[in-house]
Each structure stands twice: as C-alpha cells, then as structure tokens.
Amino acid sequence: MKINLPLLTYNYDALEPYIDKQTMEIHYTKHHQTYVNKTNIILNKIEQCYEQNIFDIIKNLHKFPLKDKSILRNNAGGHINHSIFWKCLKKHTLLTGSIKNAIEHEFSSITNFKSIFEEIAINHFGSGWIWLVIENNILKIVATNNQDNPLMGADISGVSGVPILGLDIWEHAYYLKYKNNRIDYIKAFWNIINWDEVNTNFNKFFKN
C-alpha cells in the first residue's frame, strides 16, 4: 500500500492575506510531503498490512508493533491531519445550514463557539491541532498534541470523535507571517474556514 500527497484544489496564494503564499507552499510541498514519504517508507517495511486504507491504519494503531506504531502515529497522523486541514480552507464561504444550527445549539451562539475555540487554541501548549469533532452525536472542540488525530481514539490521542474541522497550530503553519503571534493566526482562521466542507462533513457524520 502507498499513499500520495492529495491534490490541493487551490493556488498557494488563495488564502492571502490570512495564510501567505510561501507558508502554504512550504507547508504543503515540504511538511506534508515528508509525512507522506515517511509513511510510505514504514508501510513498505510492514510485511503484512491488514488495514486497507490510511484512515483504518490510524484507527487501529494498537495492531502495529511498537516502533512502527509511533512512526505511523506521527507520519500517517500528519498526513491525515493535513489532508483534512487543506479541505477545510477556503475564503468567502458562509456559515449556514445544519452546521450553523448545530453550533448554536451546542455552544449557545457562534460568538461563544469562536471564543471557546480560540481559548483552547491559545492555551494549547506546544505543537498540535484544534478540532471540531462529532462524538456520540455531540459537537465538541478538542485539542491533540503533535500529529495525533481524534480518530486514533482516547487511549492514544487523549480524545475521540470524528473531526469535521481542524486547525494546525504547529509553528510551521504560521511562523513566517505571524512570528510568535499565534493568537493573530488563530483569529485569522475565521476568514478562511470552508464552511461548505464543514457542513458536508457534519451532515455525513451526524445522525438525525
């Protein structure tokens, strides 16, 4: 089994000025590509891989030997996290439809949702990701360290649920433009969320 860098459906400068062209290009062609390459190296070495796709692999990390497990956790995790992230980014979409209703239902208001999300992102120590997940049919905001993903389950990532929106808060995601001002990067995120994609994800995983 071999994985590939997913096609980016927009140009590197499409998210300017919120995410600059150079950061996008390096992030996608260097960082994400490295996660893909390292995942493929380890997948090549594993004699028998019973899992048929990369999502099944990160959901079943416990099935792999310890040394493979940590390499897969970091690199297959990195690949999936970034694959989700790129799809969640687009300028000029509207927060509307079922996802809007669900956020208002769960967090009282959009404003309150945003402030909780920002608070979790600002207070997260070190590298990681902030996610909006559906867990037991409830919307939650959770954080993971390094390249962990909620799909890995609580035993590994400390949280669980299906991610429908993710924000990369590694320094490589923002440092060229925002330097140490992670808070400005987090606040800029609201301008580039692809709510159409998040709404599609919500409808896919939320059981009415």
Between 129 and 202, name the residue whose CB sits nearer to Mn ion.
129
Residues that bind Mn ion (CB under 5 A): 168, 170, 173
Segments in 46-153 forming alpha helices (H): 54-59, 66-87, 97-107, 110-123
Burial tier of 67 (Cβ tally within 10 Å: 0-12, 13-18, 19+): exposed
Question: In the bound complex, which residue of the shown chain has the CB atom lying closest to Mn ion?
Answer: 168
**Minimum distance from CB of 85 to Mn ion (Å)?**
7
CA distance 154 to 133: 13
Q: Give the residues across from 89 on adjacent strands.
A: 193
Between 99 and 168, name the residue whose CB sits nearer to Mn ion.
168
Between 81 and 201, name the residue whose CB sits nearer to Mn ion.
81
**Which of 153, 201, 169 lies closest to 82, judged by CA?**
169
**Minimum distance from CB of 69 to Mn ion (Å)?**
21
**Minimum distance from CB of 32 to Mn ion (Å)?**
7
Between 82 and 99, name the residue whose CB sits nearer to Mn ion.
82
**Minimum distance from CB of 97 to Mn ion (Å)?**
28
User: Are the C-beta atoms of 131 and 143 separated by less than 8 Å?
Assistant: yes
Between 74 and 160, name the residue whose CB sits nearer to Mn ion.
74
**Minimum distance from CB of 90 to Mn ion (Å)?**
18
Buried b / exposed e over 139-177, threshold 16 CB at 10 Å, is bbbbbbeebbbbbbbeebbebbbbbbbbbbbbeebbeeb
Between 103 and 169, name the residue whose CB sits nearer to Mn ion.
169
**Which of 118, 85, 78, 92 lies closest to 16, judged by CA?**
92
**Minimum distance from CB of 27 to Mn ion (Å)?**
6
**Which of 167, 186, 185, 166 lies closest to 177, judged by CA?**
185
